[in-house]
Amino acid sequence: MDIDLVVTWVDMDDPEWKKEFSRFSGEIDNSVNERSEARFRDYGFLKYWFRGVAAFAPWVNKVHFVTSGQKPDWLNTNHPKLNLVSHSDYIPEQYLPVFNSNLIEIYLHKIPSLSEHFVYFNDDFYIINQLSPERFFEDGLPKDIAAFRKNTGFSQFEKMLKNNIRLINKHFDKREVFKKDAWKWYHPSYGSRGRLNHWLRFYNKFITLRTPHNAQPFLKSTFEEVWESCGEELKQMSQHRFRSNADYTPELFRTWQICQSNFLPYNTYQDTKMFPLMLRSKGAIKAVREQSHALVCLNDSIHIRNYHQTMESLKASFESILPNKSAFEK
């Protein structure tokens, strides 16, 4: 099967982007999560994302590089596997320009020539070791972990996850879902992370699933089905040019996919790791250099101490494992 990769990126130093951002929101405001510098800044690591694809996942069919119309100077736009996608190519015009990653993501199925099987990356998700297509898909189905977690936080992200679950409970009966393919919810590979599934097997409502913050396999048809069933809610959300507590996230589509039993059990935590750089920058630097995972997320924050030093150390780690230009570079 053809498996595409989709990656989203923004260059906040682009004068045109700055002009549009300022027109709709004023200046970057680090006291507001959805308008902070950490949500948009880039330290030049994108080339390592492309090098990781070329070195460790050469089987990809196509890479859809999604921006507001930007491209780095070093990018080889003639690469046969590269598809440059502007927001205006697939997001309805009335919602543009957009600075809300959730809105950019809920329309992914509209990307021209996107394959049925695709893997979605944020630009802070990196491939740092060998990956096979079977890591993401097998027998035509995405591989994922169907394990519940407690949702007790009050962050904006937690509020959005609760929005997702309200829609899931509106459209799915948990008992019926569990009857259909119970083995997928009690798979031994989940280990301790699946423990809540056993405790909650008699509770008749879904709660938030574990959300590994990293590359996520999807079926394009899942997006189409969610839009067919929840179009009014998603159109309402599309009014949010910036992130909002009332947003839905890609986890809505992922959870829908799982509830439809369109997945095969796989404990994604076994080769995936998210590093909040504010707390675990040294661990991230070490993990990249030692290639201790196949996939890592390097989660930015305005509160990172010694920011430039941390980023230079990460750059050195990437250079140690991916020192050579890929064909995606000029």
Give per-residue pLDDT as tens, 111-165. Answer: 999 999 999 999 999 999 999 999 999 999 999 999 999 876 788 889 999 999 9
pLDDT, averaged across the chain: 92
Domains, the chain, with CATH or none = 3-321 (3.90.550)
Question: Which of 65, 74, 6, 50 shows the shortest CA–CA distance to 326?
Answer: 50
pLDDT at 2 over 90: yes
At 279, the pLDDT band (50, 70, 90 cuts) reads: confident
- In the beta sheet, which residues pair with residue 66? 8, 85
Lowest model confidence (mean pLDDT) among 41-45, 116-120, 170-174: 41-45
Q: pTM for this structure? A: 0.94
pLDDT for 304 equals 73
Whether 214 and 268 have beta carbons less than 8 Å apart is answered as: yes
Whether 171 and 230 have beta carbons less than 8 Å apart is answered as: yes
Q: How far is CA 27 from each of CA 13, 21, 32, 136, rounded to the nearest angstrom? A: 13, 7, 11, 39
Residues in CB range of 112: below 8 A, 6 or more apart: 83, 85, 89, 90
Residue found under tokens 């300022």: 22
Apex 57 CA angle, 54 and 59, nearest 5:
100
pLDDT for 37 equals 58
The DSSP secondary-structure symbol of 269 reads: G
At 44, the pLDDT band (50, 70, 90 cuts) reads: confident
Calculate Rg over the CA atoms of the chain: 19
Question: Which of 273, 295, 285, 296 shows the shortest CA–CA distance to 320?
Answer: 285
User: Span 88-113, mean pLDDT?
Assistant: 97
**Element at 159 (helix H, strand E):** helix 156-171
Instruction: Compute how many other C-beta atoms are within 10 angstroms of the C-beta atom of residue 87.
Output: 19
User: How far is it, in rounded angstroms, from Cα 110 to Cα 101?
Assistant: 15
